Chains A and B, each alone.
Chain A
Amino acid sequence: MSTAAVTRSAAPPRVDGVAAYAPGRPPSLWWAVGGWIAVPFLTAALARDRFILTTLAAAAVQGLFAVGWVLLAVTGQPSLGHALPYGAGAYAAAFVARRAGLHGGDLGGWVPVVLTAAAAIAGGCFGGLQGRLTRRLAPAFVAVVTLATVEAARSLATMWTVPVLRGSGDTDTAIPLPTFPNDDRAAAWLAAAAFASGVLVVAALVRSRTGVALRAAAGGERDAEALGFDAPRLRLFAFIAAGTIAGIAGALAAQLSGHASPLMLSWQASLFAPAAALIGGAATVAGPAAAAYAGAGAAQFFEIPAAVQLLVFAGVLVAAGLRDPQHLFGPAFSWNPRPAERTGDPRPGRSRPIVPWEDA
């Protein structure tokens, strides 16, 4: 072990006297985050085919959706109902567009911004609702209750039919809304920009002072209280922030595809984010982002049916649960080996720099 590493290990940075939770600022992590921000832009710039551009746009939106979930993992709230704010965002955009009779060129071209803002508010509200219901529950019940909320929302969504696309199935109860942008390349660029912004915001938040407080909220309430943190409020904040990001992702997905449908509130959509976190490692930001981007891109490119995707998610859940049950949403691997030295666990890929909580 190098002298520098020993020095870092012996004296981790102190934030408000909370040395144990100090995240440090490893530069290699930022390289990883930066690298993943560059990938969507590069691929969008290099792609020529329309199908590829559409695939890239969808992958970036799904990446944005999944990266917000990291905030929930950080606070020890393994929500399995993250599709609720995502779908709520999509439906809010559709609702505003229909009620106000908005079309693509209205409001001086600001319609997409208005719809996305409405979606962000709706996503934050529904995320907050989930957070309010689960903020004092054990992680297993956070998972179950959030899953129930998304199933209830899907049931409600199947009832909302409009004369344009009336039907009884999931696919034909879609609500149409103005498509934006009309150009495929612009769509890919826009989605890449949104994805990059989401990764940056979440990475900065997780590694900030607020992030320290959020990690403290993952443990017991008395521990957090002793450290001066209001754990339930912080957990609620995480749900609202994650919900806002999911709502924006939902609005983008709806505007790219031109409709909001109950499929956005399905278990398949809901389990996508935790599955990406399990593959990529919930203790990192770049890991889930990469897994979500690659996974959604592959699913779109190879047109993998929803049933097969669910089967894959099921396999991921089972494998992850059996592999490391004590730290289920801990990292599968780490971009940065140094936190392992801090935690005293020398095994490669066993560092837990962000998620200190364990299964209750």
Chain B
Amino acid sequence: MDLAAQLIVSGLLAGAPYALAAWGMAVAFANGMLNLTLGLFFTLGAYFALEFTARGLPASSAAPAAALAALIAGWAIERVFVRPLQGRALATAVVLLGIALAGEQVFGLVWGGADRSVPLKLEVLQIEHVVVAGLELFIAAGAALAFFGVVALARRTRAGLAVRAAAENAEIASCAGLDVERVRVWAFAGGCAAAAAAGAFVSPITPLSPSMGRGALIFSLAVVAAGGPSLRGLLAGSLALGVITQSPATYFAPQWAVVVAAAVLAGAAARRRVPLWRRANA
């Protein structure tokens, strides 16, 4: 019982940062883009944290800087590569995958191919029989703050309303005077920024490598497939998947987390009924 509680708490804490990355995937996805560069920006955020800590700054302070860098890079990628391919989901996905692969190689050149780690030590807390690393709590709190900030932006601001309107029906939104193209570019770039922030938050508890974003990408896709597109579903999906992946990763090996996430993705994708997922029936 104690072990189950421990796994649930650890899983919830581990899943929190991924909710932010999953939101990044979901917001681009809602606008008809399958953002396969998300893992790349996740890695970028993690390496930003590494650089910040190397200069004596706290890792969490890297999140805003990484998000800003990702916002600019995401904006450029959307304008140059995604916009010309609008309405071509497969071509967009393939081009973005190519960019992600190229980015991984660039990271390998800059930071090397070997695993790196971000040093950040905090106290360990014990609540009843559940042990919580202060570090995990700190990361989850930061990620939760960022996630709910994004939710507030999406729900309470005119920009958020515009993004939701464009996602719901681009044609009608356009008729209503909304610049859908501009909304799309910011939705894509915002998703990249969220992924970079998530990467910065996760960096102290995971080994850093140029290909670390692949797992995050699969995790985000699995969350969107299982819980999206609603924000509540994304949050619940991220936390649930965090718990589910944490259990085999604790008992067996960390690699099981990717296996579980891929299984959830495949299973959930096969059951989706929304048109973007399904083969055209016409």
Contact = CB atoms under 8 A, between A and B. Distances in A.
A311 B101 CA distance: 7
A265 to B, nearest CB: 12
B277 A138 contact: yes
Contacts of B282: 220, 222-223
Nearest to A217: B279
A156 B263 CA distance: 13
B98 A137 contact: no
Interface stretch (B8-16, B139-147, B167-175, B251-259): B251-259
Interface string B56-83: 0000000000000000000000000100
A341 interface: no
A326 interface: yes
Interface residues of B, number: 49
- Which of A136, A144, A149 counts the most chain B CB atoms within 10 A? A144
Contact of A317 (B89, B101, B253): B101
A257 to B, nearest CB: 22
A321 interface: yes
Contacts of B91: 321-322, 325-326, 328, 359
Nearest to A316: B98
A155 interface: yes
Contacts of A78: 90, 94
Given A155-B255, A156-B259, A141 B280 contact: no
B5 interface: no
A133 B266 contact: yes
Given A143-B94, A223-B282, A326-B88, A138 B218 contact: no
Contacts of A223: 282
Given A138-B276, A322-B95, A325-B85, A148 B221 contact: yes
A145 B269 contact: yes
A306 to B, nearest CB: 10
A136 B90 CA distance: 15
B90 A360 contact: yes
Given A138-B276, A140-B90, A321 B263 contact: no
Given A137-B279, A151-B218, A313 B270 contact: no
A276 to B, nearest CB: 14
B34 interface: yes
B101 A155 contact: no
Contacts, number: 157
A29 interface: no
A148 B265 contact: yes
Given A139-B90, A317-B97, A151 B258 contact: yes
A314 interface: yes
Nearest to B104: A310
A307 B108 contact: yes
- Most chain A CB neighbours (cut-off 10 Å) among B113, B263, B278, B280: B280
25 contacts: A78-B90, A133-B269, A138-B276, A138-B277, A140-B34, A141-B34, A143-B94, A144-B269, A145-B265, A145-B270, A147-B97, A148-B221, A149-B266, A151-B218, A219-B280, A220-B279, A313-B98, A314-B97, A317-B101, A318-B99, A321-B95, A325-B85, A325-B92, A326-B91, A359-B90
Interface of A: 76, 78, 80, 133-134, 136-141, 143-145, 147-149, 151-152, 155-156, 158-159, 219-223, 267, 271, 307, 310-311, 313-318, 320-322, 325-326, 328, 359-360
